[in-house]
Structure 1
Amino acid sequence: MRRVCVVCEGQTEEEFVLHLLAPAFYGIGLNLVPEMIETSPGHKGGALSYGRVKRHLRNTLRQNSAPVVTTLFDLYRLDSGFPGFHASFAQPDLPGRLAVLTQALHADTVAESGCQPGRFIPYIQAHEFEALLFSDVSTLVQVEPAWQAAAAALTAARAAAESPEHINDRPDTKPAAHLERELNNPSYRKRRHGPVVAQKIGLAKIEAECAFFAAWLAQIRQLARP
């Protein structure tokens, strides 16, 4: 069984990996283990400065057990200290920007840790975890009875973008903003509802709708090959 450490931005992503991704990969010989970065004494997740990220990745990649390491960070509000951050804005489209960021993160992490390049798979989610939940709005709104009233508004938000991952990252129109504005009784709460909605939608549907996410999982699946 090959261990793959998934360094997560926060608790929601940690639970998503634990309850949805890990079971899907265990059967092909990959043990996905979520990790969060300590951001202050006794606290983990959120407000990820690149300095903390760099140190955590370096230390994990230098472990004697030699795990493969990947990341699950949001593009939205990504720390400007990340390598390639400013250069990425020169790209004309989202794929180009993500490519600049992940290539720069890979180069910096490999250089810092001294690991084999294939042991680190950088991934940055466009634009945030909640984009994945727009893969199936009809399933999303069935999670709570009162949420079905938001079906039309959320369907329109999804239809206005090329894909769930293209729903943009401005504060009032990012994926989470749509959910927080439209879902009531109860209100959408990321940690409470995010992993539950993702499980109900299912990994196959999310991959079918979210190309960047699917490409990341394809890279991880390659690790299972002899």
Structure 2
Amino acid sequence: MEAQHPGRKARPMRRVCVVCEGQTEEEFILQVLAPAFYDLGLNLVPEMIETSPGHKGGALSYDRVKRHLRNTLRQNSAPVVTTLFDLYRLDNGFPGITASQGLSDLSQRLTAVKQALHEDIVAVAGCEPGRFIPYIQPHEFEALLFSDIEKLVAVEPAWRNASAALSAARAAAASPEHINDQPDTKPAARLERALSNPGYRKRRHGPVAALKIGLPAMEAECAFFAGWLAQIRSLAPH
């Protein structure tokens, strides 16, 4: 806890609840995002959705997401709520997802889903529109790890042998966020195929690699992710 000095006002803090998909994202928020935003007066708190009785994280049905977001937005303790969900295999029940699948431009796809999600959640929660910031990561969390291949492969000594293959995958896409979202070519599948001794494990290696790569590199390479963080920074108390 920060020490208080006589005559000095406590620093105002604004709580931002980040509803995320799983434990990897939860650790990413705790280890990477939250420390970077704390000095701005923003307290980022991850929150996973219950997917079955007693279990959180994993495949998200929109009914569960909608109920969770509605309930969270109705709490006074969470003035601002945002999301961190993967576009890859996003439940077809999400508003806008079916229509977006016919769009070839990634930006248009994301905009269609985020706008539809925002409209639906704000309506059901009955909250001010600015209190909900929907974010969908293209195409999944692992895309961020392609922002700096050399730092990624430095996580484990044996991974350096995969540098050329992963660099080629990155070079073939417009950005890390444009890496293919098919089952065999999505970012996580590429990591699982290329990295061995030990193999890539999302929960074990994801947050560690992200911390090593750092937010500046991710934001420089991943425009959609950078845009989301800019929205969160704009919430900082003045």
Q: For the superposition of Structure 1 and Structure 2, which TM-score range results when normalised by the shorter chain?
A: over 0.9
In the alignment, is residue 45 of structure 1 matched against residue 45 of structure 2? no
Shift of 1:67: 1.9
2:28 equivalent among 6, 16, 19: 16
One-letter identity of the residue aligned with 2:64: R
2:125 equivalent among 113, 117, 123: 113
Equivalences for 1:183-194 in 2 at 5 Å?
183-194=195-206
Secondary structure class of the residue paired with 2:95: coil
In the alignment, is residue 97 of structure 1 matched against residue 109 of structure 2? yes
Query: How many residues are treated as equivalent by the alignment?
Result: 226
Separation in 1 of the partners of 2:78 and 2:21?
A: 22
Secondary structure class of the residue paired with 2:122: helix
Once the two structures are superposed, residues 5-53 of structure 1 have per-residue CA deviations (whole angstroms, 9 ceiling, x without a partner) of 0000000000000010000000000000000000111100011000000
One-letter identity of the residue aligned with 2:38: Y
Equivalences for 1:57-136 in 2 at 5 Å?
57-136=69-148
Shift of 1:92: 2.7
Separation in 2 of the partners of 1:135 and 1:65?
A: 34
Shift of 1:65: 2.5
Instruction: Give the 4+ runs in structure 1 shifted more than 6 A.
Output: none
Question: Which stretch shows the higher mean deviation, 171-180 or 60-69?
Answer: 60-69
Q: Is the 8 A contact 2:16 2:78 kept in 1?
A: no
Report what 2:166 is aligned to: 154
Which sections of structure 1, spanning at least 5 residues, go unmatched?
A: none
Report what 1:206 is aligned to: 218
* RMSD value, Cα: 0.7
In the alignment, is residue 220 of structure 1 matched against residue 208 of structure 2? no
Shift of 1:131: 0.1
Secondary structure class of the residue paired with 2:193: helix
Report what 2:154 is aligned to: 142
Separation in 2 of the partners of 1:152 and 1:89?
A: 32
Separation in 1 of the partners of 2:108 and 2:202?
A: 28
Separation in 2 of the partners of 1:221 and 1:158?
A: 28
Separation in 1 of the partners of 2:94 and 2:138?
A: 15
Structure of greater Rg: 2
Give TM-score, length-normalised by structure 1: 0.99
Question: Which stretch shows the higher mean deviation, 68-77 or 84-93?
Answer: 84-93
In the alignment, is residue 166 of structure 1 matched against residue 202 of structure 2? no
Report what 2:5 is aligned to: none
Once the two structures are superposed, residues 187-214 of structure 1 have per-residue CA deviations (whole angstroms, 9 ceiling, x without a partner) of 0000000000000000000000000000
Secondary structure class of the residue paired with 2:45: strand
Which sections of structure 2, spanning at least 5 residues, go unmatched?
A: 1-12
Secondary structure class of the residue paired with 1:161: coil
Separation in 1 of the partners of 2:173 and 2:78?
A: 40
